[in-house]
Structure 1
Amino acid sequence: MTHGSDVKRTILLGRDRLTVHDIRDVAQGEAGARLDPDAAARMDRAQAVLQEWLRADRPVYGLTRGLGNQAVATVPMAERARFSEDMLKARASGAGEPFDAVVVRAALLVRAATLAQAGAGARPAIVDTQLAMLDRNVVPYVPRVGSIGTSDLMLCANMGLPLVGLGRATYQGELLPGAEAMRRAGIPTLVLTEKEGLALCSSNAVSIGYGALVVAGVAELIDLADATLAMSLEAFGGNPSPFDARVAAAHPSPGQQQAAGRLRTLLEGSALFRPGVPRRVQDPISFRCATHVHGAALTALGWAKDAIEAELNCAADNPLILPDDDEILSTGNFHTGAMAIACDALRLALVPLGTTSAQRVAQLLNPEVSGLTNKLTRPGVTRSGLGLLALTAHTLNREARTCSVPVCNDDLTPFGVEDEAPFTLLSVRRAAEQVAFLQEVLACEMIVAAQALDLRPLEQSAPAVTKLQGFIRRHVPRLDDDRSTTEDIARLTEAIRSREASDM
C-alpha cells in the first residue's frame, strides 16, 4: 500500500464524480484524495446556516432537538456544546471481529466524500482530518456487526472516535488508543462543534464503502468467469454456435448479447470455429447457456454499481442543510433500500454462475461426456487424478448458495420510530463471502480445464486462453501422478485474490 507523495493520482472530493473503482484505489493506497476548495467553501456556507438556526433556537433534529425517540424533546442550552461528542461516544457500539483495514479506509473515504457535499453542516476541518488519516494510514477499529441499513450509526461512530482522540485505531501495524494513534501520525484531534457528532455517525459509509469494494471485485470475478468459460469450452471441444452474434440477437435478454460478445472476443483465433472441430452438435447447458447466466450476472452487477455510485455522490444527511436556501429539512435520505435490493439481486444472480462453473468441472471429469480419460489422469484402478475437484467445486458452490438468501425483506427492528430497515450491510457482507467461495469454485474449474487442454490440446487455441493457461501453470503444475490438490486450489485462489489474473 502506498501513501502520501507516492500515490498515482488525486481525487478531488466535492468535485469529481466517484466510482466504485475510485473507492477501491484509495482504500488500497493506489490513489489519494483531497477536498476541493469550492466544496470547502460550500461546507463553510452550510456551517453558517447551521449556526444561524442554532442562535435562533429553531427546531432541528440532532441540533436543538434530541435523537431517535427523543426527537421532539428540546436539548437544554447548557448541554448543546457537548452534545456532539456525547452522542458520538454513546453510539459507538457493535460487535464481532473488526473490519479489515481496506474496508475501513473505504468507509472513511466515503464519509469524507459525502460530507464534502455540504449537506451535514460539518466544517472542512472534519474532512481534512479524515483525509489525513487516509494519507497516513490511521485505521479506526470498526466492528462488523451493528448496522440495520438506516445509517451505519454505531459503526460510523466507532470510525469517528479517533478524530476526537477516543476509541482505537491501528497505526503502523499496532492497535493503539485513538489519541495515541493520531499523535504518532502527527494528526491533530478535533473538538466537535454542534451537530458534527451526528455528521460523523449518521451515515451508511461502511455499507457503501464495503459495497464499492465488493462490486469492483464482482466485476473482476465475472471477467475471470468469462475467461475460464472460454478455456473450458476449448478443453471440452465445445460448440460455439450458441454464442454466434445472430443467435444472441435472436434472444436479447438482459446482458446476454454483451456476454456472448465478450466470449466471442475471448475465443478469437480458436480452432473451435473451424468445421469439424467441435465434438458435439449440442453441449450440456452449463456450456451452451453460460452466456445467458453471465449476462444476467452482468445486468445485476450494473444495477448494484449504479445504486452504490448514487450513494457515493449524494448528500444523504438527516437533517439536510440546503445552504443556497438557508434551510434545514428532516429527510429519509439515509435509507439505502435500493442498494440493499440491488445487492440481494446480485447475490442471486451469482448463484447460477457458480453452479454452471461447478457443473463444467464435473462434465470435464466425466469421460462419457468429455471424451477424455477418467478423472483426467492415466488409467488405473488406484488413480484418482483430479476427480475430487468435482466434489470440491460442488461443495464450495453449496457454500456460496447459502450466501444468496435475500435480507432486505426482514424489516423487524427494536425501536418504535425506526420501524423499517433494509439491512444493507448484511447484504454486502454476504456478497463478499459469496465472492470468496466463487473464486475457489473458479479455481477448481481453471485447474481442471488446464489439465484437459494439456491432455487434448486444440490445433490452435485463442490467445486469451493460452494466456490464462500460462497464468494457471505458474501456480499449479500439470498433474501426472496423484497428489493433494488442496495447496493447488489455495495457491491459485490467492493469485486470483491478489488480482494477478486481472493484470493478464
Structure 2
Amino acid sequence: MITLTGETLNFAQLKRILYEKEKVKASDESMEKVIKSRQSVEKIVNDGKVVYGITTGFGKFSDVFIQKKDVETLQLNLIHSHACGLGDPFPESVSRAMLLLRANALLKGFSGVRPVVIERLLELINKQVHPVIPQKGSLGASGDLAPLSHLALVLIGEGEVFYKGNRQPALDVLTKEQIFPIRLTAKEGLALINGTQAMTAMGVVGYMEAEMLVYQSELIASVTLEGLNGIIDAFDDDVHQARGYQEQIDVAKRIRGYLTDSRLVTRQGEVRVQDAYSLRCIPQVHGASWQALEYVKDKLKIEMNAATDNPLIFDDGEKVISGGNFHGQPIALAMDFMTIAIAEIGNISERRIERLVNPQLNDLPPFLSPEPGLQSGAMIMQYAAASLVSENKTFAHPASVDSIPSSANQEDHVSMGTIASRHAYEVINNVRRVLAVEAICAMQAVEYRGIEKMATATKAFFHQGRKIVPTINKDRVFSKDMEAMATWLKRAKITIHSTKNQSLNLS
C-alpha cells in the first residue's frame, strides 16, 4: 500500500501502482488539509463572495455571478459541456495514471474539494476501474479540460470505463464494485478538470517506456557492433572522459561491459582504421538523448506533485487566487524534447540497419539473404525502418510552438502539451519497431560471424531473441517477425543497477 501526500509521489511508486496494481491511500495529514480547504469553499458560497469558478461562470463567463442555489448545477453543467474528447481512448495505463495524479494533486489541500471526491478516485484505482478517456481535444492550458471531464463523468456515474479487459458503462461497473457515484458541489467539477494530468500521465507512461527503450538500444547496438566487427577502441573511457559528459561516459561504459569478452569486436587497424559514425558515435548520440531524458524526468517529477488547478486556496481561505498553474508549457516543452531525443535513437539505429544489410558497406551476404537474388532477405525490413524514422520527423515538429486562442480570446495562449505527449508516445512506439528491425538484422549478422564468439551478455540476448524470431533461412512474411520482436522488447527488461554493475533480465 502506497500512501499519497500530494508531495512525495515518485517514479518507483508510480511503476508499482501502474504496472503491479499496488493499492493506494491518502495520508491523514493531507486529508486534514483537504478538509480545511473545503471549509473555505463552503464559507465563500455561504457569504456570497465573488470567487472565480465557485460563484462565477468559467472562462469568458467569469464575470457572471452564480447564485448559491445554482452552484451544484454549475459544476454538473461544466462536466457535461466540457466532455468533448475525440478519437481513440488513452491506453488504460494512462487512464490509471490520470486518476492517480489527479488524486495526488487534490491532496495538496489547495483545491477545495470534499474528501469524498478523493476517496472515490482512490477507490477507482484500487478496484482497477479505469475511465475511458478520448485522446484528442485538449489545448493543454486552462487544464486538460476535455480529457479530465471524461474522467470526472465516471465519478458521477456516467461515461464508460475499462474493467477486467472490457469497455463497459461506468454505472454498471460502479454498481458491481459498490462504488457510489457522487454529486458534485461547489468548486469540485472545476477542481477535477482544471489541471495538467492528461499530458502528465501520458508523459510519465511514455518516459518510463522511453527509458527502458534507450537501455535496450545500447544492448542491441552492441550486437550490431559484433555483427559488423566494430572497433571497440572508440568506446575507451579516456575518449569520453576527455569530453566530460557523464551520460556519454556511462553509455560507453555499459557497451564495454556488454562486449567485455567478445571475440567479434576488433581493435583499430585490425579490419579498418575507424568505423562509421553510427557505430563510433553511439556514446555521443545516445548520451545526448540521455541528457534530454534527465531533463524530462525532472520536470515530470515536479508536475506529478504539483497543484495545477484554478483558483487555489491559501491561508484557510483568506487568500484565493486565480492564477495559471494549469498552463502546460513546462510539460509541453519537455514532451517535445523527449520526442526529439527518442527520434534520434531511431535515426541512428536505422543507419546501423543500413550498414548491416548494404553489401557495399560490409562483407556480409547482401541484405543478409540466405540466397541473394532469389531471396530478398532483410531488404524491405530496412525500408520499413526508414519509413518509421521519416514519420518520426513529422512528429518531432514541436507541438509547443503552436498556440490558438479560445474562450473568446480569454484563453489566448495555450501549450498544446497533450498533443506533445501523444506525439512523444507515437515516436516511442515507432522507435521500438526500428530497434526490433536492428535486433533481427544484428542477430542474423552474428550468425554469419559465429555465435560462439559473442560476448556473454550479447549471447544471452541472442538466445532469448531467437525464441521470438527464428533465423532467416528463407523469405517469409517479416511483418510478423518485426511486430513479435517489438512486442517482446516492450515487455522485456534490462536491469541496470549502475554503470559498474549491469545485469540482464530478458525473460
In the alignment, which residue of structure 1 is the partner of 2:414? 421
Tell me by how many angstroms 1:24 deviates.
4.0
Is the contact between residue 65 and residue 75 of structure 1 (CA under 8 Å) also seen in structure 2? yes
Pair 1:480 & 2:495 matched: no
**Aligned partner letter, 1:495:** W
Matches for 1:270-281 after TM superposition, within 5 Å: 270-271=262-263, 275=267, 279-281=271-273
- Residue 240 of structure 1, CA deviation: 1.7
Cα 1:480/1:330, change in 2 over 3 Å: same
- Which runs of structure 2 are paired with 1:350-361 in the superposition (5 Å)? 350-361=342-353
Number of equivalences: 495
- The correspondence of residues 317-336 of structure 1 with structure 2, limited to 5 A, is 317-323=309-315, 326-336=318-328
Alignment of 1:102-501 (within 5 A): 102-150=93-141, 151-253=143-245, 255-271=247-263, 275=267, 279-323=271-315, 326-415=318-407, 416-457=409-450, 460-499=453-492
C-alpha displacement of 1:441: 0.5
**2:262 & 2:25 partners in 1: Cα distance?**
48
1:318-341, Cα deviation, whole Å (9 max, x unpaired): 111124574221111111211111
Task: Quote the Cα distance in structure 2 between the aligned partners of 1:179 and 1:373.
Answer: 61
Letter in 2 for 1:77: K
Judged with a 3 Å threshold, the aligned counterparts in structure 2 of structure 1 residues 364 and 278 are, in CA distance, closer, same or farther, namely farther
Aligned to 1:5: none
Q: Which amino acid aligns with 2:482?
A: I
Shift of 1:347: 1.2
Deviation of residue 375 (structure 1)? Answer: 2.2
Task: Give secondary structure in 2 for the equivalent of 1:429.
Answer: helix
Q: Is the 8 Å Cα contact of residues 240 and 272 (structure 1) preserved in structure 2?
A: no
Q: Quick one: which amino acid aligns to residue 33 of structure 2?
A: R
Kept in 2, the 8 Å contact 1:321–1:327? The answer is yes
Residues 248, 283 of structure 2: 8 Å contact kept: yes
The 1:168–1:482 alpha-carbon spacing in structure 2 relative to 1, beyond 3 Å, is: closer
After superposition, residues 11-26 of structure 1 pair within 5 angstroms as 11-14=2-5, 17-26=8-17
Residues of 1 paired with 2:189 and 2:293: CA distance?
Answer: 34
What is the Cα deviation at residue 239 of structure 1?
0.8
Question: Which runs of structure 1 show a deviation greater than 4 angstroms over 4 or more consecutive aligned residues?
Answer: 272-278
Deviation of the 1:52 alpha carbon:
2.4
Q: 2:44 aligns with which of 39, 53, 64?
A: 53
Q: Report the secondary structure of 1:328's partner residue.
A: strand
Partners in 2 of 1:339 and 1:15 — Cα distance? 18
Cα deviation digits, residues 338-366 of structure 1 (max 9, x gap) = 11111111211223221111111111122
* Matched position secondary structure for 1:369: coil
Structure 1 unaligned runs (5+)? 1-9
Deviations 1:203-240 (A, max 9, x none): 22111111110000100110111111111111111112
Residue in 1 that maps onto 2:86: 95
The answer as to whether partners of 2:233 and 2:268 remain within 8 angstroms in 1 is no
Contact 1:403–1:430 (Cα < 8 Å) also in 2: yes
Quote how far apart the aligned CAs of 1:105 are: 1.1
Q: State the TM-score, normalized to the length of structure 2.
A: 0.92
Q: Distance in 2 between matches of 1:439 and 1:347?
A: 13
Q: Deviations over 1:300-320 (max 9, x none)?
A: 111111111111011122111
**SS of the residue 1:18 aligns to:** coil
Displacement of 1:412 in angstroms is 1.3
Q: Which residue of 1 aligns with 2:502?
A: none
- Residues 380 and 182 of structure 1, relative CA distance in 2, 3 Å threshold: closer
Q: Rate the CA distance shift 1:123–1:469 in 2: closer, same or farther, 3 A.
A: same
Q: Provide the rounded CA distance (Å) in 2 between the counterparts of 1:458 and 1:171.
A: 46
What percentage of residue pairs aligned between the two structures are identical? Answer: 28
Supply the RMSD in Å over aligned alpha carbons.
Answer: 2.1
CA apart distance, 1:267: 2.2
Letter in 1 for 2:88: E
- 1:380 offset after TM fit, Å? 4.5
| 1:180 aligned partner, one-letter code | D
Note closer, same or farther for the CA distance 1:278–1:327 as it changes in structure 2 (3 Å cut): farther
Alpha carbons 1:471, 1:501 under 8 Å: kept: no
CA distance in structure 2 between the aligned counterparts of 1:459 and 1:138, rounded to whole angstroms: 50
The amino acid across from 2:90 in the alignment is: F
> Which range is displaced more, 300-309 or 14-23?
14-23
Matched residue type, 1:116: L
Aligned-partner SS, 2:3: strand
More displaced stretch, 342-351 vs 284-293: 342-351
For 2:499, the equivalent position in structure 1 comes to none
Is the 2:292–2:341 contact (alpha carbons within 8 Å) kept by the matching residues of 1?
yes
Maintained 8 Å contact 1:243/1:264: yes
For 1:45, the aligned partner's letter is K
Output one character per residue of 1:118-153: Cα deviation in whole Å (capped at 9) or x when no partner: 111112211111111112222222111111111111
Partner of 2:501: none
State the SS of the aligned residue for 2:2. Answer: strand
d(CA) in 1 for partners of 2:18, 2:312: 27
Residues 171 and 185 in structure 1, CA contact (< 8 A), matched pair in contact too: no
Task: Say if 1:195 and 1:289 are closer, same or farther in 2 by CA, change over 3 A.
Answer: same
1:19: how far off?
2.6
Separation (CA, whole Å) in 1 of partners of 2:192 and 2:54? 14
1: CA distance, partners of 2:264 / 2:446: 13
Quick one: distance in 2 between partners of 1:164 and 1:459? 62
Whether the 8 Å CA contact 2:94–2:205 is kept in 1: the answer is: yes
Aligned match of 1:36: 27
Deviations 1:11-43 (A, max 9, x none): 211166223453343233432211111111111
Once residues 232 and 368 of structure 2 are traced to their aligned partners in structure 1, the CA distance between those partners, rounded to angstroms, is 23
Find the residue that maps to 1:45 and give its secondary structure: helix
CA–CA distance in structure 1, aligned partners of residues 300 and 489 of structure 2: 24
Residue 158 of structure 2 aligns to a residue whose secondary structure is: coil
What is the DSSP-based 3-state SS (H/G/I as helix, E as strand, rest coil) of the residue aligned with 1:117? coil
